[in-house]
Amino acid sequence: MTATHSQSAPPDPSTPLRTGALSHLRVLDLSRILAGPWCTQNLADMGADVIKIEKPGEGDDSRHWGPPFFKNADGETTTEACYFASCNRNKRSVTVDIATPEGQELVRQLALQSDVLVENFKTGGLQRYGLDYESLKAQNPRLIYCSITGFGQTGPYAPRAGYDLLVQAMSGLMSITGRSDSEPGGGPVRVGVAVIDLFTGMYATTAILSALEARHHTGRGQHIDTALLDVAMAILGNQGAGYLNSGGIPGRLGNSHPSVVPYQDFPTSDGNMLLAIGNDGQFARFCEAAGVDWAANKKFTTNNARVAHREELIPMMSDITRQRTMTEWIALLEDKAVPCGPINNIAQAFADPQVQARQLRVEQDRFADAAQAAEHQVVNRIASTASPLRLSEMPATLRHAPPALGQHTAEVLREYLGMTAERFSALKDKKVL
């Protein structure tokens, strides 16, 4: 059996899709926390109908990960964690207990009508429910099934649970993050957000879109094996390539760059600023603005020379940058097209005129009116960061706020499966929903 909606004729290209580039797709989201939900939010933002399956009464773990917690209309702190809002916009929440035979059958029926399924259970975790790839493939061969795990479907670590922090440590990322052991506060440091989870979500998105494109030609879906450790090794980028090809093990340089100088923070008279000088022309223009002739010195003329002599150059630059305020330096250097900027906190970043001009803060209501929210005893108004995916013809859309737990259960089961009110009530009474 295949998903019938996927076999329909393509839309008339002259008629724009009002709900996004992926509005023809159905996605079943069995993931939780961050990597999987980040992937499915990308698909949802681009118009896909994403059905998020959650455990009744509990939901996604991140609904409870706080502080910070939302405040209600009266300014009182609730028990709803803000974490969930970061990666569950534009989805519909359906509560199903997949530990029950009835729940397994409901999810199976939803999978038969889906183009994509995303899950992040431990390797083989869904097999006992008959919801693994091979089981669902037999009924829906067009299904694209994306598994996100810590260590992948193969290898000695495959059975292990994986977490962002653990993988940051195991991959070597923490070994190149933070200040050197010789400096105050030196030692390995985790990145300030769960960067491996986020990158994994993006890689999973790319893989899913690739599999969808392949399906246009083969008519078949496929299984996608995405692992946090694989992603972490991939995003070592130039540091990984440097080791593989030179044998040199990179260390921690704080805010400095191993291959580009000056490319770091510098003190001013009232705080630190960031200089990102990426070529020799920019360095020459910095020197002109600062009133120094360092660019004519063969020790500093080229980037390779500046890297070799960074221990001499950086203290000299720091002495100069301390002579003006941050605002003065930024105005002076921007006039010379030298990349620079403040080191903002998050509040300052959202207040930045460029961020505001790009409308990167969005707000949505879960329910049409506050009375409905009060009835469900949930916060109604939710803010999140806008999708950075900007397509000229079919931009990202805002359809659903990060949903309340089970907010769309009745709606989706009626729409997808034709479930009657009587059947819904019966399953609700049995705590399947």
Q: How far apart are CA 409 and CA 413, in angstroms?
A: 6
- For residues 30 and 119, is the Cβ–Cβ distance under 8 A? yes
Cβ burial 120-132 (10 Å sphere, 16+ → b, else e):
bbebebbeebebb
What SS3 class is residue 53?
strand
- In the structure encoding, which two tokens stand for residue 96, read together? 């199903």
Residues whose CB falls within 8 Å of the CB of residue 209, separated by 6 or more in sequence, listed in order: none
Q: How far apart are CA 166 and CA 373, in angstroms?
A: 38
Q: How far apart are CA 389 and CA 376, in angstroms?
A: 32
- In the structure encoding, which two tokens stand for residue 213, read together? 């494109």
- In the structure encoding, which two tokens stand for residue 104, read together? 């397994």
CA dihedral (336, 337, 342, 348) positive or negative: positive
Active site residues: 197
- Residue matched to tokens 């083989």: 124
- For residues 283 and 310, is the Cβ–Cβ distance under 8 A? no
227 HSE (CA, 13 A, CB side) = 22
Residue 80 burial (C-beta neighbours within 10 Å; 0-12, 13-18, 19+) = buried
